[in-house]
Amino acid sequence: MGLNLENAVPMRWPSGPLEIARRQKAEGFPPRVRQALERWHEPAALEILEDTPIDCLVFTWAAGLPADQEQWRTAAPLVEAARRRNLAVVGWVEDAADRGQALAAAKTAGLAAVAIHGFKGTADLPVVAWSQREDVPWDSGAPAVAIGGNVWPGVNITQGGGDANAGPTNLPWLDSNGWYIQMARARLRAPLWVAFDPPGKSAVFSAQSYANAIADSEVAGGRWLISLDDDFRSSLAEGAAPALQSWKRIAAAARFFRDHAAWKSYRSLGLVGVISDFTGPNFDLSGELLNLMARRDLLFRVIWKSQAAAQPFTGLKALLYADAAAPDSALRRKIAEFVEQGGLLVAGPEWGAQGKPAPPDFPTQFDVRSLGKGRLAVGREALSDPYQVAVDTQFLLSHRYDLVKIFNAPSSGCTRFTVPAPGGKALLQCVSYADGGRGGGGLRTIWIRDQFAKARLWSIGNDPVSVGAEPSEEYTGTDYHLPASAPRSYLALEFEV
Amino acid sequence: MGMNRREFVGGLGTAALAMVQPARLRASAPTAPVALARCKSYGPEFLAAAEKMFDQLGGIGRIVKGKTVTIKVNLTGGENTRLDYLPMGRACWSHPRTVGAVIHLLDKAGARRIRVVEGAWVWPAPLEEFMYKAGWDPNLLLGAAPRVELVNTNMPYKGAKPYTRFTVPRTGHLFPAYDLSTAYAESDVLVSMAKLKEHATAGVTLSIKNLFGITPTTIYGNKVPLDEPAPVPYGGRQEIGHNGSRQPPRSSPPEKDPTTPRQAGYRIPRIIADLSAAITPGLEIIEGIETIAGSELPRPGTTVAVSPGILLAGTNPVSTDAVAMAVMGFDPMAERGTAPFETCDNTLRLAEDLGVGTRDLSRIEVVGAAIKDVAFKFRDYGGPRQFQRPAGRRG
């Protein structure tokens, strides 16, 4: 259909009678929120998009309620105003809606596309495939895939009884979608829209919190389907100055990543290749493994089992075969070759015993054996505790191979180290999830194993600056010293060979 | 500010008791010479200075020749911290090059086997891995002499007996005995390699306070099981060490008197005094080439990097620490309420009470540089001190 959403910056645009009808079904619907939804249904509301990169409105379109028809009837002025602003309007169609009617109405109204939950098939309009994590249409030819079931990124202070230091790692527990997005991006061909709303009705979200939500998706290769909380939307609708100021900061974050879209095409530099079909019970383990490895800054590369035979394991030091069932014979042979050439395999007991015992110097759930030039670490029991598997994998691999060390950033995570296909550059991106600078505020030094000729620090809303580097005093590699004034919530170090 | 009865008993009360300690007990506490030197850098200058100090102490061959020597280094806190741009070795940890140089000198003096040990916070893996993660190259240490090993004493020691009980002479202050890694039992000589720095809870952290890290967090760490050691560490030493909110697993000796103050300023000095008596270092090396003033770890608003350029070495930990305190501008005879012990008891006095050594400068021979010539007043640097607040004042 010719709709290109490759680098679109989408935003959920809840408004109008349908959105009001939906909210009225739920408890607590303050008049102020209702007024904001009414105002956002008026063309004038689009003024807030002036000077922002947002070019795609994902507009409440059909929910299977009587108000659907009224929504379609009253939407024309807003849709027309959006078209005049070169905004692509995508209609958001929920499960309960009559899809045929919704599609027909969308076409009549001149929408650019619709996003239909669970849609499989063909339509007269481009359809953004919208699903939950469990039922993603991986091979869809949709212009974009929107995936729900995500978390609001940040430090989770409720895990473990109100103590931010609640993670099994003794690090603050972080909620991030980065691991999932990396996994999904390794399989999807279409742009990935990461769908999640600010949680709760009473919480107040800062501009920084929104910027983190954008960065969390972007660093991993996705794009957040921007969604504002009720209070913020109401304040924007009222033209409140602080809200408008915050909105500028959020827009700046979105613009930054739109302008650096090429970074998403960079390839992950991972030490550990995680092989799984990432489906069903296997996903429970392999998904959480990715999450915990990301939290520990253990750089990984996602390898979908269906693609593993065709993918080179070049650059990897270890493979983690996470699935319960043994791989097929071809993949098993390929993995065994990787081990014999010096790699480490971490796998469950179904792999079986091979090689000579080579126990490590620390307690582990794995029997470790040498095979060829490499090692096999085979679980004594079925792999079940993702935290322990992640920890053991990291120590079996050894920190001696670390590519990156980030100091004084206990609330950072989702660190990605990537390179473009032509080479010549590398990019390290890091998000600090502590709202207001706490936790990541002390980040001043980043260590990189590789040598580069120069480095530039990118941050949102600022021009890039050169970063001083010194050979590490006590180890190989280079210390990069970040300026004291540099923002810490998100940063990218771009290296040139 | 008022003081309740518990604080009196825990603080000034015990200070008052100390006043009536028989003079002859203090007078009989052992002493040993302390070597003092200027050293401005971590390169060859350190090696030469350390070798000269060891000579001034009468040579270390008499202490380490043919022995298994265990070096307790100071790697306090987490593995991914820096003070601004400064690596921890130049701030609040032992510096890797000083450790390498000392290994070389111990080997040269005839040590049969050298182990570098640390109970690195909650690290559940080999010490090498902690060092790699922190940005050290453990090969610098492993290659400094033949037969060098690195041991994370937080973990169960390999073999049939992971832990060994160390009884505290004179029944100890807080615990009558401590279960420590069997690596310490296999050691003939313990070397405490400390950093010259202050401590928010204990006033100063020198060769004796460095021993706090020998308590395995599998036994003395947070969240350990009630009956037996944890297989790996789950947390730091706050619950059993600092706060006394619980006892170690039943497999290890409990406190002598669980009604004593649950206050870090009372407990930590006693624990480390106990440890210094249970497993007394035979050699202490305190490095203050570059360090921090204000605290033991980087604390915003308090801590600053300083370069005193000082080294100390001795063979009695109380005497060595007493000279170190004097160099830092503190009185080793100071009692609770006086700097640097504003909110804690004087560890040196507590160790002295256990017969470990004397803190009386008039009884300690200082060789090499004079204290007054190298003195570096720590309280002239850094922001307002953030002392450990006494229990019960947090509301």
pLDDT in tens, A155-212: 876 554 334 333 444 567 789 999 999 999 999 999 999 999 998 765 667 899 999 9
- Of A184, A128, A183, which Cα lies nearest the Cα of A8? A128
What pLDDT was estimated at residue A435? 55
What pLDDT was estimated at residue B395? 28
pLDDT in tens, A319-359: 999 999 999 999 999 999 999 999 999 999 999 989 999 99
What's the start-to-end Cα distance of chain A, in Å? 41
pLDDT in tens, B63-75: 999 999 999 999 9
Task: Report the alpha-carbon distance of residue B313 to residue B366 in Å, rounded.
Answer: 10
pLDDT > 70 fraction of chain B, expressed in percent and rounded: 92
Paired sense of beta strands B203-205 and B197-199, if any: antiparallel
CB contact set of B296 (below 8 Å; sequence gap of 6+): B76, B92, B197, B198, B199, B200, B205
Q: Say whether pLDDT at A493 is over 70.
A: yes
C-beta neighbour count of B12 within 10 angstroms: 15
What pLDDT was estimated at residue B24? 63
Q: Say whether pLDDT at B29 is over 60.
A: yes
What pLDDT was estimated at residue A75? 97
Q: Which of A392, A467, A475 to mutate to test the interface with B (most CBs of B within 10 A)?
A: A475
pLDDT > 90 fraction of chain A, expressed in percent and rounded: 79
What pLDDT was estimated at residue A295? 86
Backbone φ and ψ for A12, nearest 5 degrees, come out as: -65, 135
What pLDDT was estimated at residue A439? 36
Q: Which of A385, A397, A445, A470 to mutate to test the interface with B (most CBs of B within 10 A)?
A: A445
What pLDDT was estimated at residue A367? 97
What is the DSSP annotation of B197-240?
EEETTTEEESTTGGGGGGS-HHHHSTT--SSS--SS--S-SIII
HSE of A5 in the Cβ direction (CA atoms, 13 Å)? 34
Q: Give B11's pLDDT tier (boundaries 50, 70, 90).
A: very low
A410 CB neighbours in chain B (<8 A) are 78, 80
Contact of A411 with A172, CB cutoff 8 Å: yes
What pLDDT was estimated at residue B9? 38
Strand, helix or coil for residue A257: helix
What pLDDT was estimated at residue B12? 42
More confident residue, B22 or A487: A487
Task: Report the alpha-carbon distance of residue A428 to residue A458 in Å, rounded.
Answer: 10
Paired sense of beta strands B148-152 and B113-118, if any: parallel
Mean pLDDT of A370-397: 96
What pLDDT was estimated at residue A346? 98
Backbone φ and ψ for A494, nearest 5 degrees, come out as: -105, 120
Name the residue of chain B whose CA is nearest to A407's CA.
B80
pLDDT > 90 fraction of chain B, expressed in percent and rounded: 86
Consecutive H or E run containing A274: strand A272-276
Task: Report the alpha-carbon distance of residue B137 to residue A474 in Å, rounded.
Answer: 6
Contact B129 A363 (CB under 8 A): no
Q: Say whether pLDDT at B19 is over 90.
A: no
Mean pLDDT of A412-430: 89
Contact B135 A474 (CB under 8 A): yes
Mean pLDDT of B118-123: 90
Consecutive H or E run containing B195: strand B189-195
Q: Say whether pLDDT at A441 is over 70.
A: no
Q: Which of A295, A399, A412, A430 to mutate to test the interface with B (most CBs of B within 10 A)?
A: A399
Token pair 């947090």 is at which residue?
Answer: B394
pLDDT in tens, B296-343: 999 888 999 999 999 999 999 999 999 999 999 999 999 999 999 999
Mean pLDDT of A370-396: 96
HSE of B198 in the Cβ direction (CA atoms, 13 Å)? 34
Contact A395 B135 (CB under 8 A): no
Q: Give A444's pLDDT tier (boundaries 50, 70, 90).
A: confident
Q: Say whether pLDDT at A400 is over 90.
A: yes
Is B355 near chain A, with CB under 8 Å?
no
Contact A395 B300 (CB under 8 A): no
Contact of A339 with A352, CB cutoff 8 Å: no
Contact of A376 with A350, CB cutoff 8 Å: no
Contact of B174 with B72, CB cutoff 8 Å: no
Is B159 near chain A, with CB under 8 Å?
no
Contact A442 B300 (CB under 8 A): yes
What pLDDT was estimated at residue B18? 47
- Of B225, B216, B209, which Cα lies nearest the Cα of B181? B216
What pLDDT was estimated at residue A173? 78
What pLDDT was estimated at residue A486? 78
Q: Say whether pLDDT at B139 is over 50.
A: yes
What pLDDT was estimated at residue A121? 79
Report the Cα A191 to chain-centroid distance in Å.
12
More confident residue, A231 or A27: A231
Mean pLDDT computed over every residue of chain A: 91
Is B136 near chain A, with CB under 8 Å?
yes
- Of the candidates B124, B158, B300, the beta carbon closest to that of A391 is on B124
Mean pLDDT of B99-119: 98
Name the residue of chain A whose CA is nearest to B90's CA.
A473
What pLDDT was estimated at residue A408? 86
Token pair 């160390």 is at which residue?
Answer: B166
Token pair 């580097």 is at which residue?
Answer: A469
What pLDDT was estimated at residue B338? 97
Residue B194 corresponds to which tokens in the numbers above? 């400390």
Strand, helix or coil for residue B131: helix
What pLDDT was estimated at residue A205? 78
pLDDT in tens, B169-183: 999 999 999 999 999
Mean pLDDT of A145-162: 77
What's the start-to-end Cα distance of chain B, in Å? 15
How many angstroms away from the CA of B83 is the closest CA of chain A? 9
Token pair 């010293």 is at which residue?
Answer: A481
Task: Report the alpha-carbon distance of residue A330 to residue A308 in Å, rounded.
Answer: 10
- Largest pairwise CA distance in chain B: 58
Residue at B234: amino acid letter: Y
Contact B231 A361 (CB under 8 A): no
What pLDDT was estimated at residue A28? 82
CB contact set of A277 (below 8 Å; sequence gap of 6+): A283, A304, A305, A306, A323
Of the listed ranges A85-89, B119-123, B211-215, B369-373, the least confidently predicted one is: B119-123
Q: Give B8's pLDDT tier (boundaries 50, 70, 90).
A: very low
Domains present along chain A, CATH in parentheses? 10-264 (3.20.20.70), 270-401 (3.40.50.880), 405-496 (2.60.40.1180)
Name the residue of chain A whose CA is nearest to B134's CA.
A405
- Largest pairwise CA distance in chain A: 74
Mean pLDDT of A64-93: 96
Is B232 near chain A, with CB under 8 Å?
yes
Is B125 near chain A, with CB under 8 Å?
yes
- Of the candidates B85, B96, B129, the beta carbon closest to that of A474 is on B96
Q: Which of A473, A482, A485 to mutate to test the interface with B (most CBs of B within 10 A)?
A: A473
C-beta neighbour count of B210 within 10 angstroms: 27
C-beta neighbour count of B239 within 10 angstroms: 18
- Of the candidates B82, B97, B232, the beta carbon closest to that of A363 is on B232
Is B381 near chain A, with CB under 8 Å?
no
- Of the candidates B82, B96, B122, the beta carbon closest to that of A407 is on B82
pLDDT in tens, B189-235: 999 999 999 999 999 999 999 999 999 999 999 999 999 999 989 99
Mean pLDDT of A223-245: 96
Helices A230-237, A31-39: crossing angle, 10 deg rounding: 60
Task: Report the alpha-carbon distance of residue B123 to residue B130 in Å, rounded.
Answer: 7
Task: Report the alpha-carbon distance of residue B252 to residue B306 in Å, rounded.
Answer: 40
Cis peptide leading into residue B340 (ω within 30°): yes
Strand, helix or coil for residue A491: strand
pLDDT in tens, B247-281: 999 999 999 999 999 999 999 999 999 999 999 99
What pLDDT was estimated at residue A385? 93
Single pTM value for the model: 0.91
Contact B81 A408 (CB under 8 A): yes
A439 CB neighbours in chain B (<8 A) are none
A205-A208-A213 Cα angle (round to 5) = 80
- Of the candidates B85, B135, B232, the beta carbon closest to that of A475 is on B135
Residue A437 corresponds to which tokens in the numbers above? 């600078």
Strand, helix or coil for residue B107: helix
CB contacts < 8 A, A to B, total: 66
More confident residue, B78 or A14: A14
CB contact set of A310 (below 8 Å; sequence gap of 6+): none
- Of B285, B224, B281, B206, which Cα lies nearest the Cα of B36? B285
Task: Report the alpha-carbon distance of residue B345 to residue B270 in Å, rounded.
Answer: 8
Residue at B100: amino acid letter: G
CB contact set of A422 (below 8 Å; sequence gap of 6+): none
Contact of B37 with B369, CB cutoff 8 Å: yes
Task: Report the alpha-carbon distance of residue A113 to residue A117 in Å, rounded.
Answer: 13
How many angstroms away from the CA of A472 is the closest CA of chain B? 8
pLDDT in tens, A248-300: 999 999 999 999 999 999 999 999 999 999 999 999 999 999 999 998 889 99
Q: Give A496's pLDDT tier (boundaries 50, 70, 90).
A: very high
Strand order in the sheet with A490-496: A267-268, A412-419, A425-432, A490-496, A454-458, A465-466
Encode burial over B344-378: b for 16+ CB neighbours within 10 A, e otherwise. Answer: bbbbbbbbbbbbbbbbbbeebebbbbebeebebeb
What pLDDT was estimated at residue A167? 40
C-beta neighbour count of A10 within 10 angstroms: 26
What pLDDT was estimated at residue A192? 97
Residue B5 corresponds to which tokens in the numbers above? 């009865």
Residue at A429: amino acid letter: Q
What pLDDT was estimated at residue A312? 94
